[in-house]
Amino acid sequence: MITNPTRQRALRGHKATRPSPRAANTTEHQAVLAWRLTPRDRWIIRMLHEHRVLTSHQITALAFPSFRSGRMRLRELFQWGVVDRFQPFVSVGTAPMHYVLAPAGAAVLAAEDGLDVKDLGYRHDRAFGIAHSLRLAHTIGVADWFTALVDHARHSDPAEHAALCAWWSETRCARHFGDLIKPDAYGRWTSHGAEVEFFLEYDFGTEALTKLAGKLTGYAKLAEATGIITPLLVWLPTARREATARRLLYRAWQGLDDPDTVPLATTTAEMLNPETAHPSPADQIWLPLTTTSTTRDSGSPRRALHRLLDAWPHVPAPSSDNEGGESAIGTDMPLLMAPAPTPMPPPNPRGPSTCRR
């Protein structure tokens, strides 16, 4: 250490946080918030409670026209004690600010739903616990995946009528049917008049692929118990890992009592075209499990997200009787649980939502 001292420039990676005055979480302050918070602010509160943590870039892409306007509003919400924030350490560059729900925001959410804060399952220390979780990167990755879908919908041609109609967190999925499956998320996407619902398995490259293949048994049991067939989407980081995963998944899929109850498609992040304005999982990158080719060209068998049901004629389109994805998962949610927020923030810049009611 004496012969190789730390250079001064190496100590400049973290700047001291400038103190920001924050309002105390009192009853009077919560009353003031009644006229300060906009519908978009309340939507952000509900999204943070549902998904635990979102970055400044994700919130901006989801709900604001520009990063500057999003940053300014998030700063105000932080000063009002509605949201809290932290910045993880990264070895290269600077991580974006990560936002979680703060006590004043939890009080607003509980009041809206007629619950006590404790009934929401909210605790300030647990909210900040995600900052030290070994699953933080995975949680942010899943949020990035769905954020890209919302961003695609917001910037798509109005004639496409694209919208993300449901986005359920891993926590909500686990509470609802954790005894059978524990997907990373549940979603519902509509585009060009076609609608598809799905479970997402977001592979971060750290889980054994044999464990991933073993999950198909649980999805088959869920379909048998509910009588509802819901496609399973598997997102992988590289084409090489996708090829290996498809072999293992196909072997496990063939071993099911009724393989048709688990329609499955895979893709990889490498399939996204970086030259497009808003690359997203909605693009023509999905390969159904029964398809063998993995090429991407003019004759590619890969399909866009909203066209996946064409590969599975036996899978009916989602029911239009319920909102928020209830066609796949029923309505018997726990009474003391905040309802799932709509993934598309109010007001919708493209007009009314295209999700079927």
Q: Which domains does the chain have, with CATH numbers?
A: 20-132 (1.10.10.10), 136-329 (no CATH)
pLDDT value of position 287: 96
State which amino acid sits at residue 205. Answer: G
Helical spans, DSSP H, in the chain? 27-36, 39-51, 56-63, 67-79, 103-112, 124-129, 136-154, 170-177, 209-214, 216-226, 239-254, 326-329
Q: Which residue has the tokens 């999982």?
A: 281
Read off the amino acid at residue 317. Answer: A
Is the previous residue joined to 237 through a cis bond, with omega within 30 degrees of 0?
no
- For residue 67, CA distances in Å to 88, 119, 131 come to 20, 34, 23
Residue 178 near residue 334, CB atoms below 8 Å: no
- 3 state DSSP class of 283: coil
Structural contact between residues 169 and 187, judged by C-beta atoms closer than 8 angstroms:
no
CA atoms of 59 and 151, how far apart (whole Å) = 11
Spell out, as residue ranges, where the chain has pLDDT lower than 50.
13, 16, 293-298, 321-326, 331-336, 348-352, 357
Phi first, then psi, for residue 168 (nearest 5°) are -100, 135
Rounded Cα distance, 332 and 348, in Å: 29
DSSP assigned state of 82: S
Question: Would you state the pLDDT for residue 349?
Answer: 42
3-state secondary structure of 122: coil
Q: Are 104 and 29 in contact (CB under 8 A)?
A: yes
Report the DSSP pairing between strands 264-268 and 232-236.
Answer: parallel
What is the value of pTM for the model shown? 0.87
Geometric angle at alpha carbon 347, from 159 and 63, rounded to 5° = 95
Task: Write down the pLDDT at residue 4.
Answer: 59
Backbone angles phi, psi at 202, to 5 degrees: -95, 105
Q: Across-strand partners of 155?
A: none
* CA neighbor of 325 nearest in space, from 281, 280, 356, 283: 356
